[in-house]
C-alpha cells in the first residue's frame, strides 16, 4: 500500500474509534442506571422470595415501562382461561388406610373424585381408601352413588348437593359454577359407553368441557357436541371454591 493511502486508512480507522468512544461516553450513564435498576429489582426479589409487595411492584412496573419506551417489545399477557386448581390423582394408586392396595380400585372413581375435591377446596389430602371406608364400611366396594359422595362431603362440612339435571341445564349449571371457581363432580360415560364413571370438572369452554379423570390421573376433554351422549344425568356440587393446587 502506498504511504499516502496507508495514512488515509489509519486516519479513517481512528475517526471510527473516536466516534465509538464518544457514543459510549454519552450512553454509559444511562446503561449504568439501567443495570442498577435491574440489580435493585432482583435484589428485592431475592429478599422477598415469593411475594411482590406494594414497594416493589411499582418500581418494576416503571422499569418495564422505561424499557418498552426505549424500544423493547412487551410480552403479551395470556388471556386463555385456565382450569381450576386440582390434583391429577388416579384411583389406580391410592392405598387403603393400612397401606394395602384395594383389589376393587377400578370401582373407586367416586371416592377418588371426592379426594380430589377435598384437596382442591380445602388443601387436605384424604386417601381414596379412607373415603371408601367412610362410604361403604370396612371391606366395602366402590360403585358410589351421588348420595354417597354428598354424604361424605357433608360429613366434612361441605355444603354439597346432588343435582339430577338434563344435559343442557347441566351445562348451564357447570358454566356458572366454574365461573364462581367451584369444581363439579359429574357422572358420565367418559371412558366407555358401557361404564359409568365419576370425574371432576374444572373448566368449561366454548367447544369442550375439561375434567380431571381419576382413572388416568389426567386432564381430559369432552366436546360439547358429545356432551348429551356422554353425560349420565347427575352432578355433585361440593359447594366450595377451589383454592389449592396439587
What is the C-alpha separation between 171 and 231, in angstroms, rounded? 10
* pLDDT for the residue 246: 54
Angle at 188 (CA atoms; ends 187, 193), nearest 5 degrees: 150
* pLDDT for the residue 99: 77
* pLDDT for the residue 12: 60
Quick one: which of 132, 126, 117 has its CA closest to 87? Answer: 117
* pLDDT for the residue 11: 60
**Least confident stretch, 133-142, 181-190, 208-217:** 133-142
CB 222 within 8 A of CB 208: yes
What is the pLDDT confidence band of residue 133, given thresholds at 50, 70 and 90? Answer: confident
Looking at the chain, the whole-number percentage of residues with pLDDT higher than 70 is 65
What is the C-alpha separation between 198 and 114, in angstroms, rounded? 10
Quick one: which of 95, 84, 155 has its CA closest to 125? Answer: 95
pTM over 0.75: no
Q: Which residue has the higher pLDDT, 46 or 204?
A: 204
Q: Which residue has the higher pLDDT, 125 or 163?
A: 163
What is the C-alpha separation between 107 and 136, in angstroms, rounded? 12
Q: What are 176's three cell numbers?
A: 356458572
What is the C-alpha separation between 48 and 148, in angstroms, rounded? 45
For β-strands 184-188 and 231-237, DSSP reports them as antiparallel
For residue 130, give every residue at least 6 positions away whose Cβ sits within 8 Å of its Cβ, in sequence order, or none.
96, 97
- The third-level CATH classification (topology) of the domain covering 91-237 is Cathepsin B; Chain A (3.90.70)
Question: At residue 89, what are phi and psi to the nearest 5 degrees?
Answer: -95, 155
pLDDT tens figures, 220-238? 999 999 999 999 999 999 9
Indicate if the pLDDT at residue 49 is higher than 50: no
Angle at 151 (CA atoms; ends 113, 192), nearest 5 degrees: 35
Instruction: Give the residue extent of every domain in the chain.
Output: 3-69, 91-237
Amino acid at each position: 500500500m502506498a504511504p499516502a493511502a496507508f495514512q488515509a486508512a489509519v486516519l479513517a480507522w481512528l475517526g471510527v474509534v473516536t466516534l465509538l468512544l464518544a457514543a459510549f461516553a454519552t450512553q454509559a450513564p444511562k446503561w449504568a442506571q439501567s443495570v442498577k435498576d435491574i440489580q435493585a429489582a432482583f435484589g428485592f426479589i431475592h429478599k422477598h422470595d415469593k411475594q411482590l409487595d406494594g414497594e416493589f411492584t411499582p418500581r418494576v412496573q416503571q422499569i418495564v415501562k422505561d424499557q418498552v419506551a426505549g424500544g423493547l417489545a412487551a410480552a403479551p399477557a395470556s388471556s386463555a382461561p385456565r382450569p381450576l386448581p386440582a390434583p391429577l390423582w388416579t384411583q389406580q394408586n391410592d392405598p387403603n388406610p393400612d397401606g394395602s392396595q384395594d383389589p376393587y380400585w377400578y370401582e373407586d372413581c367416586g371416592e377418588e373424585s371426592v379426594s380430589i375435591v377435598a384437596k382442591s377446596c380445602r388443601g387436605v389430602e384424604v386417601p381414596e381408601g379412607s373415603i371408601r371406608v367412610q362410604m361403604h364400611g370396612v371391606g366395602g366396594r366402590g360403585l358410589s352413588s351421588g348420595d354417597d359422595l354428598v354424604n361424605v362431603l357433608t360429613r366434612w362440612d361441605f355444603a354439597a348437593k346432588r343435582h339430577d339435571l338434563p344435559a343442557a341445564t347441566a351445562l348451564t349449571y357447570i358454566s356458572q359454577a366454574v365461573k364462581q371457581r367451584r369444581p363439579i363432580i359429574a357422572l358420565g360415560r367418559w371412558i366407555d359407553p358401557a361404564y359409568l364413571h365419576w370425574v371432576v370438572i374444572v373448566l368449561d369452554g366454548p367447544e369442550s368441557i375439561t375434567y380431571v379423570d381419576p382413572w388416568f390421573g389426567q386432564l381430559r376433554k369432552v366436546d360439547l357436541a358429545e356432551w348429551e351422549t356422554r353425560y349420565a344425568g347427575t352432578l355433585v356440587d361440593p359447594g366450595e371454591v377451589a383454592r389449592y393446587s396439587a
